[in-house]
Amino acid sequence: MNEKKSDKILWQLFKSTFVLSASTFGGGFVIVSLMKKKFVEELKWLDEDEMLDITAIAQSSPGPIPVNASVILGYRMHGVVGSLVAIAGTIIPPMIIISIISVFYTEFRENQVIAIALQVMRVGVAAVIMDVVFNLATNVFKGKSKFYISLMFIAFIATFFFNVSAMLVILLSLAIGISELVIIHFRNTRNI
């Protein structure tokens, strides 16, 4: 890869993770949705399956999900250096914001305008996530596998209605995937 192109990728990586991190109100899955829009739909750096795999790894590893996802994304784009650049882009915005706010946090917390803006912004965040979910779910339906479609609904009901933790859902799906593998293996050996 020539030097100019690699500088360009690193700069784009830093810029994107910086902007996403500065706009992520409300937890790990929000930034994952924004990353999907940016890196899959806009820049076309990753495919959709890859983004879902990165999400699963980031969610089940220790540490903050946005940082975990940036490490993997950065590594994919430009090895260890890419990883470090993506981390910097992800942690600098909250560090700057908190440093500033920690000076006058009582005023910040009690400010009516900020409170209202944060409340209404949630529906904007929800609109973005729902858009991503529509696209992702459409693709699961397009796959036409009744098995995967049911897995999606069962996982949704478990997390949303029964508060089953994301970690447990991922572990159980892994177990299902492995069982599927074992079943396929036995079927094949029997046919031989």
Partner 1 sequence: MGMLIKLFFSFLQVGLFSVGGGYAAIPLIQNQIVDTHALLTLAEFTDLITIAEMTPGPISINSATFVGTRIAGPFGAVVCSIACIIPSFIICLTLAKFYYKYRDLGGVKTVLAALRPAVVALIASAGMSILLLGLFNSDSLVLNFDNFRIIEFGLFCVGFFAIRKYKINPIAIIFGTGFIGTIIYFII
User: In the range 119-158, which residues lie near partner 1 by CB under 8 A?
Assistant: 119-134, 136-137, 140, 148-149, 151-156, 158
Q: Candidates 56, 78, 89, 146: give the one binding partner 1 (CB under 8 A).
A: 56
- Write down the residue that tokens 């993997």 correspond to: 72
Query: CA angle, 50 as apex, 44 and 52 as ends, to 5°?
Result: 110
**In angstroms, rounded to a whole number, what is the distance separating the alpha carbons of residues 180 and 85?**
38
Q: Are 31 and 65 in contact (CB under 8 A)?
A: yes
Q: Is 107 in the site for partner 1 (CB under 8 A)?
A: no
Tokens of 55: 């999400």
Q: Are 58 and 100 in contact (CB under 8 A)?
A: no
User: What is the size of the binding site for partner 1 (CB under 8 A)?
Assistant: 104
Q: Candidates 2, 4, 62, 146: give the one binding partner 1 (CB under 8 A).
A: 62
Q: Candidates 67, 78, 85, 89: give the one binding partner 1 (CB under 8 A).
A: 67
Nearest distance in Å: CB 107, partner 1: 11
Q: Is 161 in the site for partner 1 (CB under 8 A)?
A: yes
Q: How far is CA 189 from the centre of its chain?
A: 38
- Tell me if residue 26 falls in helix, strand or coil: coil
Nearest distance in Å: CB 99, partner 1: 6
CA distances for 62 relative to 35, 68, 104, angstroms: 20, 8, 32
- Tell me if residue 43 falls in helix, strand or coil: coil
Q: Is 18 in the site for partner 1 (CB under 8 A)?
A: no
Nearer to partner 1 (CB atom), residue 4 or residue 154: 154
Q: Candidates 8, 47, 101, 107: give the one binding partner 1 (CB under 8 A).
A: 101
Q: Which residues contact 32 (CB under 8 A, 6 or more apart)?
A: 51, 55, 58, 65, 69
Q: Is 95 in the site for partner 1 (CB under 8 A)?
A: yes
Nearer to partner 1 (CB atom), residue 4 or residue 59: 59
Nearest distance in Å: CB 57, partner 1: 5
Residues 30-49 that bind partner 1 (CB under 8 A): 30, 32-34, 37-38, 49
Nearest distance in Å: CB 86, partner 1: 10
